[in-house]
């Protein structure tokens, strides 16, 4: 029971807090533990940093690798090769300070050699190590006692008693070793806890200092905002005061001007009254006559000025109207020239397009399908595409294009594809075999009813059996022509009335 207690105590005493805080991304990842006879190889992702100690009853070697974790390694690996009984693994600590423990069990007490080679940790059993260990744990007997026992043929009971004493001494030594290990582990744990507490205190102090700095910065910013708001309020108040002063000054000046005008008018009125009172009736008549003549003269001059001004305004209006008419005529000439150039360019483009289509028709004449006449209530099918690969094709584009004398619906695929065309009434259906639609935009309907075209709507669907159906709705049944050029399939519909 004491041996079992020592075993459990040695296995469970592990550090609670790592002395060196390492980032999780820098851990040593142990990926394999292999056993070859008495040799155990432990392979990791970096050079191991380890401590080791031995345990007895049963014999074991414990390796603690700092800053390490296991990946793909079993927790218990039975061996039983005559030297190694088995291997057990466990991980302790936190993610950033993990300790990987490897416990190696032996059939007997052995002497080991532990070396690190690169990313490997190699544990070898030295020859005769087991006997050496047993001799080291057996209490030494005086040479004289051994000789006496051999000479006098000491009974078996005495040997058993010596063995029991040796076992008791061994257990006492193991108890002392376990106690020493427990004390050392406790001291180590206390030191680690103290270091962790100091680190936590430092971190807290740093955090408090950072918070204090942030609070000071916030208060400084708040003070600056308050000062800015105060300055702005003072500027606004000063501007309002200046505006009020200017308004009051202007009002005072206006009042003074009105007062002066009223005084001048009153003085003039009084002078006129005095002149009228002192003047004789004849003078009044002359003045009245002169005033009337002056009024008539002024009215005539005013009428002449008004007539002259009206004449000048009419001339200016006529001149402006002539200028506007000339500008409109020039604009009309420019627009006619632009339309003529656009018409000529369109004619050249149409001729080039017709020549290109003529060349394409001569090139792909062998792949053209005959024209089909659409009739109300009837159904017709045609197919094309020739030899194609067995790979699944992708429809990359469906579109509508106005030609000089027809409307074109075109479908583009990443490579040539077999297809069939069927019609029923005012509907034409193009089916692409072994084809799919990847982009959802290619399934959006095309509304073309407002074009001068026989086509009113085009829409693509993902059909059953790895097919794509392109449904073309017509305003009225017309003849159409289908052709395929590589990964491009076109259906040309003549415009109504042609």
Indicate if 356 and 457 belong to the same structural domain.
Answer: no
Which residue, among 32, 46, 54, has the nearest Cα to 117 in the 3D structure?
46
Query: Is the pLDDT at 322 greater than 80, yes or no?
Result: yes
- What percent of the chain has pLDDT above 90? 46
pLDDT tier for residue 331 given thresholds of 50, 70 and 90: confident
Indicate if 294 and 397 belong to the same structural domain.
Answer: no
d(CA 175, CA 5): 9
Residue 376 CB neighbours (<10 A): 9
Question: Are residues 81 and 69 in contact, defined by beta-carbon separation less than 8 angstroms?
Answer: no
| Strand-pair category, 406-413 with 84-93 | unpaired
d(CA 40, CA 103): 11
Please report how many Cα atoms fall inside a 13 Å half-sphere around the Cα of residue 28, on the Cβ side: 24
Indicate if 23 and 136 belong to the same structural domain.
Answer: yes
End-to-end CA distance of the chain: 109
Q: Catalogue the long-range contacts made by 443-448 (C-beta closer than 8 Å, 24 or more residues apart).
A: 446/398, 446/399, 446/400, 448/400, 448/407
The verdict on residue 34 lying in a domain is yes
Q: What average pLDDT score do residues 435-463 get?
A: 91
Indicate if 94 and 183 belong to the same structural domain.
Answer: yes
Strands (E), 1-49: 28-30, 32-36, 39-43
Indicate if 447 and 346 belong to the same structural domain.
Answer: no
d(CA 452, CA 493): 11
pLDDT tens, residue by residue, 29-75? 999 999 999 999 999 999 999 999 999 888 999 999 999 999 999 99
Whether the link from the prior residue into 58 is cis, omega within 30° of 0, is yes
Indicate if 448 and 335 belong to the same structural domain.
Answer: no
Where do runs of H (alpha helix) occur along 138-155? 143-152
Strands (E), 247-336: none
68: helix, strand or coil? strand
Sort 478 into a burial class: Cβ within 10 Å, 0-12 / 13-18 / 19+. buried
Domain of 454, in residue numbers: 372-494
Model pLDDT, residue 256: 94
Indicate if 42 and 93 belong to the same structural domain.
Answer: yes
pLDDT tens, residue by residue, 230-246? 999 999 999 999 999 99
Taken in order 289, 290, 291, 294, is the CA torsion positive or negative? positive
Residue with tokens 């009434």, as numbered in its chain: 425
Model pLDDT, residue 177: 75
Residue 260 CB neighbours (<10 A): 10
Q: What average pLDDT score do residues 208-217 get?
A: 93
The verdict on residue 148 lying in a domain is yes
Query: Is the pLDDT at 343 greater than 90, yes or no?
Result: no
Q: Extract the tokens encoding 214.
A: 């942030």
447: helix, strand or coil? strand
| Strand-pair category, 68-70 with 419-424 | unpaired
Sort 481 into a burial class: Cβ within 10 Å, 0-12 / 13-18 / 19+. middle
Query: Is the pLDDT at 477 greater than 80, yes or no?
Result: yes
Indicate if 345 and 380 belong to the same structural domain.
Answer: no
The verdict on residue 343 lying in a domain is yes
Residue 377 belongs to a domain with what CATH number? 2.60.40.3470
Query: Is the pLDDT at 484 greater than 60, yes or no?
Result: yes
Q: Extract the tokens encoding 317.
A: 């209006």
Q: Which of 307, 337, 363 is the last residue of a domain?
A: 363
The verdict on residue 238 lying in a domain is no
Which residue, among 185, 182, 189, has the nearest Cα to 17 in the 3D structure?
189
Model pLDDT, residue 259: 94
The verdict on residue 277 lying in a domain is no
Question: Are residues 421 and 383 in contact, defined by beta-carbon separation less than 8 angstroms?
Answer: yes
d(CA 446, CA 297): 81
Q: Which of 299, 331, 363 is the last residue of a domain?
A: 363
Indicate if 448 and 308 belong to the same structural domain.
Answer: no
Q: What average pLDDT score do residues 121-137 get?
A: 59
Q: Which of 162, 196, 230 is the last residue of a domain?
A: 196
Indicate if 357 and 376 belong to the same structural domain.
Answer: no
Please report how many Cα atoms fall inside a 13 Å half-sphere around the Cα of residue 77, on the Cβ side: 19
- As for how many domains the chain has, the answer is 3
Residue 50 belongs to a domain with what CATH number? 2.60.40.3500
Q: Extract the tokens encoding 96.
A: 């950033």
Indicate if 339 and 468 belong to the same structural domain.
Answer: no
Query: Is the pLDDT at 361 greater than 50, yes or no?
Result: yes
The verdict on residue 228 lying in a domain is no
Which residues have a Cβ under 8 Å from the Cβ of 353 and sit 6 or more positions away? Answer: 403, 404
Q: Extract the tokens encoding 298.
A: 């002024």
Model pLDDT, residue 376: 37
pLDDT tier for residue 8 given thresholds of 50, 70 and 90: very low
Which residues have a Cβ under 8 Å from the Cβ of 482 and sit 6 or more positions away? Answer: 368, 369, 382, 384, 421, 430, 489, 490, 491
Sort 306 into a burial class: Cβ within 10 Å, 0-12 / 13-18 / 19+. exposed
Model pLDDT, residue 184: 80
Q: Write down the pTM of the prediction.
A: 0.28
Region of 475 on the Ramachandran plot (φ > 0 left; ψ -120 to 50 alpha; else beta): alpha
Residue 240 CB neighbours (<10 A): 10
The verdict on residue 258 lying in a domain is no
Which residue, among 470, 441, 468, 446, has the nearest Cα to 457 in the 3D structure?
446
The verdict on residue 97 lying in a domain is yes
Lowest mean pLDDT among 38-47, 199-208, 372-381: 372-381
Query: Given strand 60-66, what is the order of strands in its sheet?
Result: 50-55, 60-66, 98-106, 84-93, 76-78
Indicate if 376 and 358 belong to the same structural domain.
Answer: no
């Amino acid at each position: 029971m004491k041996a079992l207690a020592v075993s459990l105590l040695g296995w469970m005493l592990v550090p609670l807090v790592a002395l060196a805080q390492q980032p999780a991304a820098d851990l040593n990842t142990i990926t394999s533990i292999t056993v070859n006879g008495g040799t155990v190889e432990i392979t990791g992702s970096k050079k191991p940093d380890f401590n080791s100690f031995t345990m007895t009853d049963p014999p074991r070697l414990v390796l603690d690798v700092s800053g390490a974790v296991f990946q793909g390694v079993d927790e218990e690996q039975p061996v039983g090769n005559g030297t190694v009984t088995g291997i057990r693994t466990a991980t302790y600590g936190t993610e950033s300070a993990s300790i990987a423990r490897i416990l190696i069990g032996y059939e007997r007490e052995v002497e080991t050699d532990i070396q690190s080679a690169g990313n490997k940790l190699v544990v070898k059993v030295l020859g005769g190590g087991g006997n050496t260990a047993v001799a080291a744990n057996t209490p030494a007997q005086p040479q004289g006692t051994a000789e006496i026992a051999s000479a006098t043929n000491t009974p078996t009971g005495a040997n058993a008693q010596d063995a029991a004493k040796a076992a008791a001494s061994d257990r006492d030594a193991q108890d002392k070793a376990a106690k020493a290990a427990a004390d050392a582990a406790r001291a180590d744990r206390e030191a680690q806890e103290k270091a962790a507490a100091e680190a936590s205190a430092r971190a807290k102090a740093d955090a408090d200092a950072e918070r204090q700095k942030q609070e000071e910065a916030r208060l400084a910013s708040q003070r600056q905002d308050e000062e800015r708001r105060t300055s702005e309020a003072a500027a606004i108040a000063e501007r309002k005061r200046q505006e009020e002063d200017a308004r009051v000054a202007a009002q005072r000046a206006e009042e003074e001007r009105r007062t002066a005008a009223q005084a001048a008018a009153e003085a003039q009125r009084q002078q006129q009254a005095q002149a009228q009172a002192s003047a004789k009736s004849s003078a009044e008549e002359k003045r009245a006559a002169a005033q009337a003549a002056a009024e008539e003269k002024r009215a005539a001059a005013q009428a002449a000025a008004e007539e002259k001004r009206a004449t000048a305004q009419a001339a200016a209006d006529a001149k402006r109207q002539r200028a506007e008419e000339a500008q409109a005529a020039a604009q009309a000439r420019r627009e006619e020239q632009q339309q003529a150039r656009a018409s000529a360019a369109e004619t050249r483009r149409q001729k080039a397009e017709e020549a290109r289509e003529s060349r394409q028709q001569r090139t792909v004449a062998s792949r053209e399908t005959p024209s089909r006449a659409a009739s109300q209530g009837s159904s017709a099918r045609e197919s094309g595409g020739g030899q194609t690969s067995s790979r699944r094709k992708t429809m990359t584009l469906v579109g509508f294009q106005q030609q000089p004398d027809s409307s074109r619906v075109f479908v583009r695929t990443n490579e040539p594809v077999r297809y069939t065309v069927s019609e029923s009434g005012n509907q034409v259906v193009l089916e692409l075999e072994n084809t799919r639609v990847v982009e959802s935009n290619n399934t959006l309907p095309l509304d073309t009813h407002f074009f001068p075209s026989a086509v009113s709507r085009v829409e693509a669907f993902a059909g059953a059996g790895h097919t794509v159906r392109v449904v073309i709705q017509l305003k009225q049944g017309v003849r159409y022509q289908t052709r395929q050029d590589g990964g491009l399939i076109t259906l040309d519909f003549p415009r109504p009335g042609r």
